Amino acid sequence: MGKMKILVVLFLYVCSANIFSESRLISLDKDLYEEILKKRPKIFFSQSAGKLILVSLDEEILPYVSHLAHEKFKRCGGYILEDSMEEAYPLLNSFQNFDNFESKKLQDKKEVREFIEEVNTSFMKETIEKLSSFQNRYYESIHGVKSQTWVLEKWKSLAEGRSDTSVSFFEHKNFQQPSVILTIKGEQFPEEFVILGGHGDSISGWFPDENVRAPGADDNASGIATLTEVLRIFLESGKRPRQTLQFISYAAEEVGLRGSKEIATAYSRAGKNVKAVLQFDMTNFSGNRYDFVFISDYTTDSLSTYLTSLVEMYLPDYSWAYDKCGYACSDHASWYREGFPVAFPFESTFDGHNEKIHTKEDTIAVSHNSASHAAKFSKLALAFLGEFTL
């Protein structure tokens, strides 16, 4: 019997034996929920919440849910781990197409074009290779902590000499991997926030542990490399943003968007004025002819349109398209459900996705040992920062 068949048999046996004791509440799309039901897991209860389903099930089944979300539906996280029914149900039941981005007229700035010229693929490749060199970046492993510590120290080194910039961990309540937040204080509107983020964790297989090899070069060392290069160029320029900028390497995205959900919820409860959130999750695999694919579900239409206008103005040789990924396929969903303006530029359409993600084969070799595709996303992010925050 093959390894996959053994895993399936083991999964079905454990479910039927009913030996799990701890249940967790998650929200997910109906199509993923219906597929999970085919495996007959123990469901403690389920309830519709608008277009979504709230489900309470055994915690140890969650890695399988993540696996299924990727394998069948080409989604990354695939679900959101909820804290309680009392908090989740009202929020999800009011889910709507938020379109509250306050756009600005593009000015075709010289400084933006200078930013774009500074993007260095060699630096980005080094970042991808360094993050990929950790055994894994799993949220429950010591490697996941060490990799985030490396990100923190790297970003600190880039911010050296900037009195307006700080870097710190965001410690999470229920797991050891921290998120990393770099903050550049706004010069004119310090109480307004513009956030660029991507997840720092990686995963491989259904039930990973400390020793599993999960390089996560594309998913998502590439996104962190994209952010790091944007930081390098922006900080070296000496420019002072009008709004407060934050760059975030989220923890625990692969297991229910746990890191970004905790952060976005905290920002919402604190009443923070978040003007825009950009998500960079997988930027270095060119799966088809499009350079940018803007995810159109659970994102803000006007912000995505603003980004396409930036492509047309500053990156006219690059092509773009729209596609859908399904509920909770990355950290953008955590912010969107809190009512913040969100955009998610992705590396390819979902039918051309990188099939090596979530395996030990997700290395930079899949992207021809180059960071050239990810560099396009750094250029787009720099165009956004230059037009929107300077």
Q: Give 267-336 as a DSSP string.
A: HHHTT-EEEEEEE----S---SS-SEEEE-SSS-HHHHHHHHHHHHHH-TTS-EEEE---TTSSTHHHHH
Q: Would you state the structure tokens that stand for residue 89, as one six-digit string?
A: 């149900």
Range from 77-91, 263-277, 300-314 carrying the lowest mean pLDDT? 77-91
Question: Is the same domain home to 52 and 165?
Answer: no
Residue 104 lies in a domain: no
What pLDDT, on a 0 to 100 scale, did the predictor assign at position 8? 37
The region of weakest confidence among 38-47, 170-179, 350-359 is: 38-47
Q: Which two tokens stand for residue 215?
A: 């390089």
Q: Residue type for 100, please? A: N
Identify whether residues 44 and 156 lie together within a single domain. no
Within this chain, do residues 146 and 21 fall inside the same structural domain, yes or no?
Answer: no
10 Å CB burial of residue 123 (0-12, 13-18, 19+) is middle
With a cut of 90, say whether residue 4 has pLDDT above it: no
Instruction: Mark whether 276 and 157 lie in a shared domain.
Output: yes
Domain count, the chain: 2
Give the pLDDT mean for 332-352.
94
Residue 132 lies in a domain: yes
The reported pLDDT for the residue numbered 181 is 99
Strands 342-343 and 273-279: parallel
From the list 67, 143, 199, 373, the catalytic residue is 199
51 versus 377: the higher-pLDDT residue is: 377
Burial track 142-161 (b if 16+ CB lie within 10 A, e otherwise): ebbbebbebbbebbeebbee
d(CA 366, CA 363): 6
Is the pLDDT at 9 greater than 70? The verdict is: no
pLDDT above 60 for 92? yes
* 101: in domain: no
The C-alpha atoms of residue 200 and residue 220 are separated, in whole angstroms, by 6
Q: 94 falls in which pLDDT band (50, 70, 90)?
A: low
Cβ–Cβ under 8 Å, residues 234 and 382 = yes
Indicate which residue of 281, 331, 347, 387 is catalytic: 281
CA 148 → CA 173, 223, 343, distances in Å?
16, 14, 24
35 is catalytic: no
Average pLDDT over every residue of 350-377? 95
Lowest mean pLDDT among 91-105, 286-300, 372-386: 91-105
pLDDT of residue 141: 97
Please report the pLDDT score of residue 64 as a whole number.
Answer: 85
Give whichever of 23-37, 116-130, 322-336 has the largest mean pLDDT.
Answer: 116-130
> Containing domain of residue 125, as a range?
110-389
- Asked, as a colleague might, if the bond just before 220 is cis with ω within 30 of 0, I would say yes
- The CATH number of whichever domain residue 8 belongs to comes to 3.30.70
Q: How far does CA 254 lie from the centroid of its chain?
A: 9
Q: Indicate whether 11 pLDDT > 50.
A: no
Note whether 89 and 117 are same-domain residues: no
Residues 287, 370: Cα–Cα separation, whole Å: 14
Contact indicator for 196, 246 with CB cutoff of 8 Å: yes
62-73 helix and 30-37 helix, angle to the nearest 10 degrees: 120
Average pLDDT, integer, range 331-345: 95
Sheet arrangement for strand 345-346: 320-323, 292-295, 345-346
Both 38 and 187 in one domain: the answer is no
In terms of domains, do 247 and 347 share one?
A: yes
Going by pLDDT thresholds of 50, 70 and 90, the confidence category of residue 10 is: very low
Q: Give the pLDDT band of residue 205 (cuts 50, 70, 90).
A: confident
CATH of the domain at 304: 3.40.630.10
Q: Which of 67, 93, 119 is the last residue of a domain?
A: 93
377: pLDDT strictly greater than 70: yes
The pLDDT score that the predictor gives to residue 239 is 97
If you average pLDDT over residues 2-27, what whole number do you get? 49
Catalytic residue among 29, 82, 201, 253: 253
Q: Which of 201, 219, 262, 323 is catalytic?
A: 219
Helix or strand run (H / E) with residue 120: none
Q: Span 70-93, mean pLDDT?
A: 82
Are 40 and 16 a contacting pair, CB within 8 Å? yes
Active-site residue flag, 236? no
User: Do residue 225 and residue 145 come from a single domain?
Assistant: yes
- Strand pairing partners for 199? 250
Tell me the C-alpha to C-alpha distance, in Å, between residue 290 and each of 305, 319, 350, 374: 16, 5, 11, 13
169 φ, ψ (degrees, to nearest 5): -80, 145
Locate 184 and state its tokens: 């550049």
Which residues are paired to 277 by β-bridges?
A: 195, 342
Domain stops at, among 46, 67, 93: 93
Query: Do 82 and 121 fall into the same domain?
Result: no
In a domain, 100, yes or no: no
Among 8-12, 30-34, 60-64, 248-252, the range of highest mean pLDDT: 248-252
Question: Do 361 and 293 share a structural domain?
Answer: yes
Q: Is the pLDDT of residue 319 over 80?
A: yes
End position of a domain, from candidates 93, 121, 140: 93
* Residue 102 maps to a domain: no
Candidates 29, 82, 201, 254; catalytic one: 254
In a domain, 174, yes or no: yes
* Same domain, yes or no: 144 and 50: no
* Residues 284 and 141 occupy one common structural domain: yes
pLDDT of residue 96: 62
Phi, psi (degrees; rounded to nearest 5) at 157:
-65, -35
Residue 253 designated active-site: yes
Do β-strands 189-199 and 243-250 pair in parallel, antiparallel, or remain unpaired? parallel
- Report pLDDT digits (tens) over 137-195: 999 999 999 999 999 999 999 999 999 999 999 999 999 999 999 999 999 999 999 99
> Is 99 part of a structural domain of the chain?
no
Band of residue 13 on the pLDDT scale cut at 50, 70, 90: very low
The answer to whether position 105 is within a domain reads no
State the catalytic residue, choosing from 67, 353, 358, 373: 358
pLDDT at residue 203 greater than cutoff 60:
yes
Q: How confident is the model at residue 280 (pLDDT cuts 50, 70, 90)?
A: very high
At 7, the pLDDT band (50, 70, 90 cuts) reads very low
pLDDT band at residue 359 under the 50/70/90 scheme:
very high
Q: What is the predicted pLDDT for the residue at 97?
A: 62
Q: Name the pLDDT band for 51 (thresholds 50, 70, 90).
A: confident
pLDDT higher at 193 or 29: 193
Q: Give the confidence band of 95 by pLDDT, cuts at 50, 70, 90.
A: low
Q: How far apart are the first and last CA of the chain?
A: 60
A 10 A CB-CB count for 104 gives: 10
Beta strand 80-82 pairing with 165-170: unpaired
Q: How buried is 140 (Cβ within 10 angstroms: 0-12 exposed, 13-18 middle, 19+ buried)?
A: middle
